[in-house]
Structure 1
Amino acid sequence: MRVLLLCVGRLKAGAERDLVARYLDRAKAGGRSLGLSGFDTIELSESSARRPDDRMVEEGSAILAAIPAGASVACLDPRGRSLSSEDFSARLGSARDGGTSASCFIIGGADGLAPAVRARADLLLAFGAATFPHQLVRVMLAEQIYRSTTILSGHPYHRA
């Protein structure tokens, strides 16, 4: 199963970009034996529309167009569910075991996700009640994906 991060906006060179690359490279290496591949990031352009609702709709159209057919979709959303690392990895493993071709994790733009994107999601996922910058959310997501590969493989990286 292919793992894909769809993100509105681009990470500039720096610590966050380096951390995302490091975690996704680690996930790639460990994911092969688990039937997981890709670990690709698609960066979508931020909308230049004047109104926030118009920006969300425009970005939402780009997000929906980038989701592969038959993919499972998890959207990062502050109103979503908080999952333990074990539950996060169990969902990834279940999607893989269920024959899903791709698992997409979506980080929307600064104005949030369009209702159509939220409706397409199989899971709305929150990393707690606090608000984090998009750059850090991307790092945390990449780390959780890597952690999932270690949990699924029984590697000791994950400790309580």
Structure 2
Amino acid sequence: MRVHICAVGRLRTGPERALIDDYLVRFDRTGRALGLGPAQMHEVEDKKGGGMSAEATLLERIIPKSSVIVALDERGKLQSSPEFATLLGDWRDGGRGDVAFVIGGADGIAPDLRKRADFRLSFGRMVWPHMLARAMLCEQLYRAASILAGSPYHRV
């Protein structure tokens, strides 16, 4: 199952980028044998300042057709890492070819796109900057693959 991270904004070179790249490499290495990956980062930028609806239009263009759409949203469902791993495994085992994690811009994800999501995932009730949300998502993807592989990376 291919993983797509569809995010508003461009991530520049720096420590966040290095962290994200490291976790994506780890995920690809671990997930490949499990039928997970590769993971790809897709970035959009609303250069005209059209707000959430313009960002949603740009995001919808890059979300692969028939993907499981997961909106990262503070109002979404809180999950433990093992629960998240099980969710990914269930989608994979159910024959889903793609999962798209959607990270909105400064104002979040437009309500219409949020409603279209198959699942809303929360990293807590706090709002996180998109660069940190990306890093946390990438780490959790790697952790999920490690859990599914039976690796000792995840400890209870």
Q: TM-score range by the shorter chain?
A: over 0.9
Matches for 1:70-149 after TM superposition, within 5 Å? 70-149=66-145
Alpha-carbon distance between aligned partners in 2 of 1:37 and 1:129, rounded to the nearest angstrom: 28
Which digits, 9 at most, give the CA deviation of each residue in 1:67-92, with x for residues without a partner?
11111011111111111001111111
Relative distance call for 1:93 and 1:11 in structure 2 (3 A) is: same
Unaligned runs of 5+ in 2: none
- Give SS of 1:96's match: helix
1:11 is aligned to 2:11: yes
Matches for 1:60-79 after TM superposition, within 5 Å? 60-79=56-75
Q: CA RMSD in A?
A: 1.0
Tell me how many residue pairs correspond in the alignment: 156
Q: Partner amino acid for 1:65?
A: R
Q: Partner amino acid for 2:140?
A: Q
Alpha-carbon distance between aligned partners in 1 of 2:107 and 2:11, rounded to the nearest angstrom: 17
Is the 1:72–1:103 Cα contact (8 Å) retained in structure 2? yes
- Give SS of 1:151's match: helix
Q: Partner amino acid for 1:57?
A: S
Is the 2:32–2:38 Cα contact (8 Å) retained in structure 1? no
- Over 2 Å off, 4+ runs: 46-49
Alpha-carbon distance between aligned partners in 1 of 2:46 and 2:105, rounded to the nearest angstrom: 7
Q: CA deviation at 1:46?
A: 3.0
Is the 2:68–2:117 Cα contact (8 Å) retained in structure 1? yes
Q: CA deviation at 1:47?
A: 4.6
Q: CA deviation at 1:147?
A: 0.3
Alpha-carbon distance between aligned partners in 2 of 1:87 and 1:47, rounded to the nearest angstrom: 37
Alpha-carbon distance between aligned partners in 1 of 2:62 and 2:27, rounded to the nearest angstrom: 22
TM-score normalised to structure 2 length? 0.96
**Which deviates more from structure 2 when the two are superposed, residues 36-45 or residues 22-31?**
36-45
Q: CA deviation at 1:101?
A: 0.9
Alpha-carbon distance between aligned partners in 1 of 2:92 and 2:15, rounded to the nearest angstrom: 31
Unaligned runs of 5+ in 1: none
Is the 2:7–2:104 Cα contact (8 Å) retained in structure 1? yes
Is the 2:69–2:119 Cα contact (8 Å) retained in structure 1? yes
